[in-house]
C-alpha cells in the first residue's frame, strides 16, 4: 500500500518547508553535507519551463528565448540591487552585485515544453568563503542570487494573485518598495513572454530551504505589464541641476552636472515659448522623469525626460 503523502501533509500543523518526498530527501542530504563540510558548498539551482503557443514540440524561436532570458537576468539583477539598497535608476550597478547575481544556463527539452536549467555563475564557496576559510553553516549561507531569485519569484507570484482592487494589492506595495528598476525589468520580462506566447513555470531551490515556485499564463503576464505601465511605476522623478550647454526645441538638451558629466535631457514636453527663454551657460534646475532603456546586449541606460525647469542663474 502506497503511503498517502497528501493526507500526511494535511495533518501537519503550520506550513511545511517541503512539498514532496524529493524535497525531504534533498534537504536531508544537504543538512548531512553541511554538518560535515564546515560551510556550504552545494549550489542553488532553478528552472524556467516554457509552455504555451510559442512552444512547438520542445523548440522555440531563438530570438524569443534570448529576449526572455536577457530580461530575466535583468530582473534578477534588479531585485539583487534592491535588496542591497540600490533602488535608483541612476548610476552604474556595483560590479560585485552584478557578479553575484549572474546566472548560467543549461537547456534540456521535454515534449511540449522547453526546460532551461538555471544555476548561479558564482559558486557558494567563492561568495561565502572567498578566502577559503572554514565556517560553520550559519546565517550567512544565503548567496545574493538566492535573495534576488526569491524576491523575483515572490513578486511574480504576487502579480499572479492581483485581485480586482489592484491599488490595495501586495504586488503594488512590494514593487513600489523595490523601486523603478525592478518595475522596468519585470515589465520587460512579462512583455517578452507575451510577445513570444510563452507561459513560464519558474522554480528555485536553495540548499536546506523550501523550494520556490510560480507559474503564470499569458493573461496574468499581460496584466502585470499593463499595471506597471498604467501606474507609471517604471519612472523615477528627480531634479538635476547644472549648466546648460546646448538647448533646442527639436533635440535633447545637454546639461553639465557636478563632475563635468553631461546629461542629455529629452525636452519634448516643454513648450517652445518656455524653451525660448533659455540660453547656453545658464544654471538651471530641471525636474525630470528617469526611465531605463535596455540596449541590444542587455545593458541599461538612463533616459531623462524634462517635466519643468527653473532658472537659477545666468
How confident is the model at residue 136, as a pLDDT?
45
| CA-closest candidate to residue 292, choices 68, 88, 124 | 88
Strands across the sheet containing 199-205: 103-110, 113-120, 45-51, 199-205, 212-215
Cβ neighbours of residue 268 closer than 8 Å, sequence gap 6 or more: 305
Pairing label, strands 262-266, 283-294: unpaired
How confident is the model at residue 310, as a pLDDT?
97
Q: How far is CA 123 from CA 98, 126, 143, in A?
A: 14, 5, 9
Q: Domain 236-313: which CATH class? A: mainly beta
Which pTM was predicted?
0.80
Calculate mean pLDDT across residues 45-57: 94
Q: Decide if pLDDT at 137 tops 50.
A: no
Q: Lowest-confidence range among 13-22, 119-128, 251-260, 305-314? A: 13-22
User: What SS3 class is residue 285?
Assistant: strand
Tens of pLDDT, residue by residue over 32-45, are: 555 445 556 688 99
Q: Decide if pLDDT at 222 tops 50.
A: yes
Calculate mean pLDDT across residues 171-188: 96
**Confidence bin at 113 (pLDDT 50/70/90):** confident
Tens of pLDDT, residue by residue over 245-278, are: 999 989 999 999 998 999 999 999 999 999 999 9
Residue ranges per structural domain of the chain: 21-230, 236-313
Tens of pLDDT, residue by residue over 151-164, are: 999 999 999 999 88
How confident is the model at residue 203, as a pLDDT?
96
Q: Write down the mean pLDDT value for the chain.
A: 86
pLDDT higher for 265 or 135? 265
Calculate mean pLDDT across residues 73-88: 95
| CA-closest candidate to residue 87, choices 200, 174, 169, 5 | 174
Q: Decide if pLDDT at 28 tops 70.
A: no
What is the share, in percent, of the chain residues with pLDDT greater than 90?
67
Residue 222 CA to its chain's centroid (Å): 17
Q: Bridge-partner residues for 253, per DSSP?
A: 265
Calculate mean pLDDT across residues 2-12: 58
Which range among 133-142, 188-197, 204-213 has the greatest average pLDDT?
188-197
Amino acid at each position: 500500500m502506497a503511503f498517502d503523502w497528501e493526507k500526511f501533509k494535511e495533518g501537519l500543523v503550520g506550513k511545511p518547508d517541503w512539498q514532496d518526498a524529493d524535497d525531504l530527501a534533498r534537504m536531508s542530504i544537504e543538512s548531512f553535507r553541511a554538518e560535515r563540510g564546515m560551510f556550504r558548498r552545494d549550489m542553488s539551482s532553478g528552472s524556467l519551463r516554457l509552455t504555451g503557443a510559442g512552444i512547438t514540440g520542445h523548440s522555440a524561436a531563438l530570438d524569443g528565448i534570448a529576449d526572455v532570458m536577457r530580461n530575466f537576468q535583468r530582473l534578477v539583477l534588479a531585485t539583487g540591487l534592491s535588496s542591497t539598497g540600490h533602488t535608483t535608476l541612476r548610476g552604474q550597478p556595483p560590479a560585485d552585485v552584478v557578479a553575484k547575481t549572474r546566472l548560467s544556463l543549461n537547456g534540456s527539452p521535454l515534449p511540449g515544453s522547453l526546460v532551461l536549467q538555471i544555476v548561479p555563475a558564482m559558486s557558494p564557496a567563492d561568495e561565502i568563503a572567498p578566502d577559503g576559510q572554514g565556517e560553520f553553516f550559519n546565517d550567512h549561507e544565503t548567496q545574493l542570487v538566492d535573495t534576488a531569485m526569491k524576491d523575483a519569484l515572490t513578486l511574480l507570484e504576487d502579480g499572479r494573485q492581483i485581485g480586482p482592487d489592484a491599488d490595495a494589492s501586495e504586488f503594488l506595495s512590494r514593487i513600489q518598495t523595490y523601486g523603478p528598476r525592478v518595475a522596468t525589468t519585470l515589465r520587460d520580462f512579462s512583455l517578452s513572454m507575451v510577445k513570444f506566447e510563452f507561459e513560464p513555470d519558474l522554480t528555485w531551490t536553495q540548499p536546506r530551504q523550501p523550494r520556490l515556485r510560480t507559474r503564470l499564463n499569458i493573461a496574468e503576464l499581460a496584466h502585470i505589464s499593463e499595471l506597471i505601465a498604467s501606474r507609471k511605476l517604471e519612472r523615477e522623478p528627480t531634479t538635476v541641476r547644472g549648466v546648460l550647454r546646448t538647448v533646442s526645441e527639436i533635440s535633447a538638451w545637454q546639461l553639465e552636472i557636478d563632475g563635468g558629466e553631461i546629461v542629455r535631457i529629452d525636452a519634448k514636453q516643454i513648450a517652445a515659448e518656455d524653451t525660448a527663454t533659455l540660453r547656453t551657460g545658464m544654471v538651471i534646475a530641471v525636474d525630470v522623469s528617469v526611465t531605463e532603456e535596455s540596449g541590444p546586449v542587455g545593458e541599461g541606460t538612463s533616459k531623462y525626460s524634462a517635466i519643468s525647469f527653473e532658472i537659477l542663474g545666468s
